[in-house]
A and B are shown apart, each in its own frame.
Chain A
Amino acid sequence: MNPEVTLRVNGRRYELQVRPDRLLLDVLRDELRLTGARRGCETGYCGACTVLLDGQAVHACCLLAVRAGGREIQTIEGLASNGKLHPLQRAFIEEGAVQCGYCTPGMILSAKALLDENPAPGPEEIRQGISGNLCRCTGYVKIIRAIQTVAQAKGGGRP
């Protein structure tokens, strides 16, 4: 008998029976069909699987689902509210920060975690904040710019 786990994802409660060795990423994708978090490696280095756990960016491919029980999980699907995109999502669109899009959800969530903690990061802090998320398409130029525009709109973004 698999243990019962309560996952709180994007403000909803899910009661699930989860095998103890199941990864949070697999439960999100296979059980809850939240596919915005993606597998890019299996080793926690690419960041495509990034979700927010109590506001912190974590690699869902390296976290057992049972360990996330009772904690607040946010995925990319929960970022827009009432059909209104989050400022980071808008900035990524407008600045051209999206190419193949595979890394985009994880990248946006890492950026959100960064801005929630430090509303006015400089470019080096932004680089540091997203350094756990690999993007092979963009060269990060427009991603960094997109995050800067949101930081600046919040009154931050010192050069």
Chain B
Amino acid sequence: MSVTGGVGQRIPRIDAEAMVTGKVCYAVDLQVPGMLVGKIVRSRVPHGRIVRVDTSRAEQMPGVRAVITGLDMPDRKIGLALRDATIVARHKVRYVGEPVAAVAAVDERTAEEAAEAIDVVIEELPAVFDPVEGAQPKAPVIHEELGSYGHSTFMARHYNPIPGTNIAHHYWYRRGDVEAAYREAALVHEETFRIQPVHHGYMEPHVAVANVEPYGRVYLWSNTQRPFEVRKLVAEMFGWPEGRVRLTITKIGGGFGGKITPWLEPIAVALSARAGAPVKITLTRAEDFVTCRRQGGRVRVKSGVAQDGTLLAREVEIHWDSGAFSDLGVSVSTLAAISSPGPYRIPNVKVNSYLVYTNKVVAVPYRGLGVPEVMWAAESHMDSLAHRLGLDPIDIRMKNLAEEGDVAPWGEVFHSIGVKECLRRVKEVRERRRQEGDGRGWGVAVMHKFSTPGTMSEAVIRMNSDGTLLLLSGAPPIGQGCETSLAQIAAEGVGVPVSQITVVAGDTDATPFDAGTFSSRVCFHSGNAVLQAAREVRRRALELAGELLEARPEDLEIANGEIYVQGAPDRKTTMAEVARVSHMSQGAPIIGVGAFRGGGSFKFDPDTGLSGRAAAHWEYGAVLVKVDVDRETGKIDLRQVIGAHDVGKAINPLTVEGQIEGAALMGIGAALYEEMVFDGGSLVNPNFMDYLIPSALEAPDTEPILVETPHGEGPFGAKGIGEGPIIAIAPAIGNAVYDATGVRIRELPLTPERVLNALEAQA
């Protein structure tokens, strides 16, 4: 029996009306009575020792209520994995833009003036900006105490820093014998690729509001993607029990991985505690640009291939540009390294992944968690192999792509792998278009994307006294529409229309724990928890209805809010009646609780580095693009993008399409236009005039194709879709440029200048 707005239905977002009327409270809109304005003073030096931070002038200015430096913050480093980060620098600065002090004042102008009155003296140290140079033994060391840092527990003991160097983490794995395989290969080919730093470009800036009650609670509001993680880190930092801190999320104006680490919350807390008043910090766009970015770096890939295109061996070496701290880099550099050979059958593999500190803006999770970087290399390289062997780029992939039950290069067994079907679907499009005369400029790439292993979601569904349902989930909606898809799962699980469900998300006092919104995990993990809670609500409702109708629960059916005896639809009651009886007569309100821990772990074979299961689930997809290249100007005209993606099961095809279309354009931005340009550690383009986020004029015709290969552990077979569709975009475009011109460009972005240079080198 299907329910109105249930699973698989293409329904509009349940929160869309509030969005189109502007009646939504984002973090920028927050107002708390008596609120002060917080401002951050930032380092202008990429690497140096703090000699003096003189706050005396600022402290005496009228209207200034609090001034803090790094020494006023608790002496505890934080981090999502390795605890290596100071929130306000204490003795050293490690990048331009790093906070060194902060003020709170009665208004914005006073706060700005006070921030400018703080005198910061820093003695410069030699700096490192390139991850490959930074990994050399003689490079200036950015973290002298690397060997003594603590770490979070979620990655078990998977930490491998190399003290005395800038290598925050080295992960490696080996399978078979690549050298022996190279000797057997018809072709051995090696290429080196570079990926530039890019910024998330979410539309809403980072915001945090803190109100510290001296003997009471600590209230925090922010637009974070991981409220429970932020609460934990803040409580840990200040030495409080977690329960003292209440973090409530607002509506979030985009995140894409950039709004996870609590860069602002502890500063707002420290200012509020000192001022005895609520403090709000809103970043300017220029500040956002120095708050987070994607890793990027260098990827070297080498393959041995048989004459027929069969992959025999692959080596990958990655140097990640981590910036000043490692943030979630230990996880990203491990899991992206695991993914780096691609979703292929390759018997001999050798991977080395180095997470390297540099004196630049901190790299954090970014849609795709490192996989866009490694797939840019692997999937460009795959085309190079095809061309050298005289094979069709689609055929060489089809020959090597893994299927259900195959063993992955890193050791786990592939499941719910619809990548070949995705490739078949885009191949159909290419063949048809070629027959129509569209001959050149086609590029294809495939992708896979892990969802971080071993993370937890919980959900609670409470029945209100009128029979409607309150769904409590700790996973913040960040624009992808999870409040709608989770409500659809709940509706389907209970058997009521989706209109009966109200979603409450991301309030650490109200909602149960959730690891948060990242790594394409919410639909799968939170969805499973919601489904479990919904089934519990359904079971309890049927039990109670059975008493009312004098029938056995197993003989009852729920359809759109009514409960009736199967075969005797006149014998019926309503959810409202069930709710009334449960609340009023029995005093046993109906509450369903669900919990789900995703599979996989950070446990690796100590001898080989191989994994039994590295991910909770994997997204798969194939992207086809069509380009024209202007040989005079070097400009790439991206005509069309076709993205076929295996989503397991589309809970809501409308929002799934939205993810594919949006991720495609974000990928296009990083492939063609976007680059954070640094000059001696200073970002020279921290604004939307010089940092080119695609507008509607750059958006090509985009066609999403949904493939459904059910996942055995997903809710209704569903997997994530938030990140996968960005990953194959850049290599597909690079491959299309090759198809159009015969030049291979190995460095992003593919600017007209790079294309022209490559064309000139070719001539």
Chain A residues near B (Cβ < 8 Å)? 29, 34-43, 45-46, 48, 75-77, 79-80, 85, 89, 92-94, 96, 98-105, 108, 126-128, 130-144
Known contacts A43-B689, A75-B22, A127-B697, A139 near B13 by CB under 8 Å? no
Smallest Cβ-Cβ distance to B200: which chain A residue: A136
Q: In the complex, how many angstroms separate the beta carbon of B672 from the nearest chain A beta carbon?
A: 14
Q: Are A134 and B699 in contact (CB under 8 A)?
A: no
B586 on interface, CB distance cutoff 8 Å: no
Smallest Cβ-Cβ distance to A108: which chain B residue: B20
Some 8 contacts from A to B, beta carbons below 8 A apart, are: A35-B25, A40-B204, A43-B687, A98-B16, A103-B203, A131-B697, A134-B203, A139-B666
Q: Are B658 and A76 in contact (CB under 8 A)?
A: no
Q: In the complex, how many angstroms separate the beta carbon of A147 from the nearest chain B beta carbon?
A: 10
Chain A residues contacting B13 (CB-CB under 8 Å) are: 93, 96, 98
Taking A76-B21, A96-B655, A101-B16 as known contacts, 20 extra A-B pairs with beta carbons closer than 8 A to each other, sorted by chain A number, are A36-B23, A40-B204, A40-B253, A41-B285, A42-B687, A43-B687, A76-B22, A93-B17, A98-B19, A99-B658, A102-B26, A102-B204, A105-B20, A108-B20, A128-B697, A130-B696, A136-B254, A136-B662, A137-B254, A140-B695
Chain B residues contacting A45 (CB-CB under 8 Å) are: 687-689
Chain B residues near A (Cβ < 8 Å)? 12-13, 15-26, 28-29, 200-205, 251-254, 256, 284-286, 478-481, 654-655, 657-658, 661-666, 687-689, 693, 695-697, 699, 702
**Dominant SS at the A interface?**
loop
Q: Are B699 and A127 in contact (CB under 8 A)?
A: yes
Pick from B21, B664, B688, B689: contact of A89, CB below 8 A: B21
Q: What is the CA–CA distance of A127 and B23 in the complex, to the nearest angstrom?
A: 26
Q: What is the CA–CA distance of A126 and B203 in the complex, to the nearest angstrom?
A: 21
Q: What is the CA–CA distance of A38 and B285 in the complex, to the nearest angstrom?
A: 13
Q: Are A104 and B19 in contact (CB under 8 A)?
A: yes
Q: What is the CA–CA distance of A104 and B666 in the complex, to the nearest angstrom?
A: 18
**Dominant SS at the B interface?**
loop
Pick from A130, A136, A140, A143: contact of B201, CB below 8 A: A136
Q: What is the CA–CA distance of A48 and B19 in the complex, to the nearest angstrom?
A: 13
Chain B residues contacting A79 (CB-CB under 8 Å) are: 21
Q: What is the CA–CA distance of A45 and B200 in the complex, to the nearest angstrom?
A: 16
Smallest Cβ-Cβ distance to A146: which chain B residue: B20
A-B complex: 6 closest residue pairs judged by Cβ atoms: A36-B22, A100-B479, A102-B253, A101-B19, A139-B665, A45-B688
Pick from B22, B26, B29, B688: contact of A41, CB below 8 A: B688
Chain B residues contacting A137 (CB-CB under 8 Å) are: 254, 479, 658, 662
Smallest Cβ-Cβ distance to B687: which chain A residue: A43
Q: What is the CA–CA distance of A134 and B702 in the complex, to the nearest angstrom?
A: 17
Smallest Cβ-Cβ distance to B480: which chain A residue: A99
Chain A residues contacting B661 (CB-CB under 8 Å) are: 138-139, 141-142
Smallest Cβ-Cβ distance to B284: which chain A residue: A42
Q: Are B26 and A38 in contact (CB under 8 A)?
A: yes
Q: Are B20 and A98 in contact (CB under 8 A)?
A: yes
Q: What is the CA–CA distance of A35 and B24 in the complex, to the nearest angstrom?
A: 8
Q: What is the CA–CA distance of A134 and B481 in the complex, to the nearest angstrom?
A: 19
Of residues B19, B21, B205, B654, which shows the largest number of chain A Cβ atoms within 10 Å of its Cβ?
B19
Chain B residues contacting A29 (CB-CB under 8 Å) are: 29
Chain B residues contacting A131 (CB-CB under 8 Å) are: 695-697
Chain B residues contacting A37 (CB-CB under 8 Å) are: 22
Q: Are A93 and B20 in contact (CB under 8 A)?
A: yes
Chain A residues contacting B19 (CB-CB under 8 Å) are: 98, 101, 104
Q: What is the CA–CA distance of A36 and B358 in the complex, to the nearest angstrom?
A: 40
Q: Are A144 and B696 in contact (CB under 8 A)?
A: yes
Q: Are B24 and A41 in contact (CB under 8 A)?
A: no
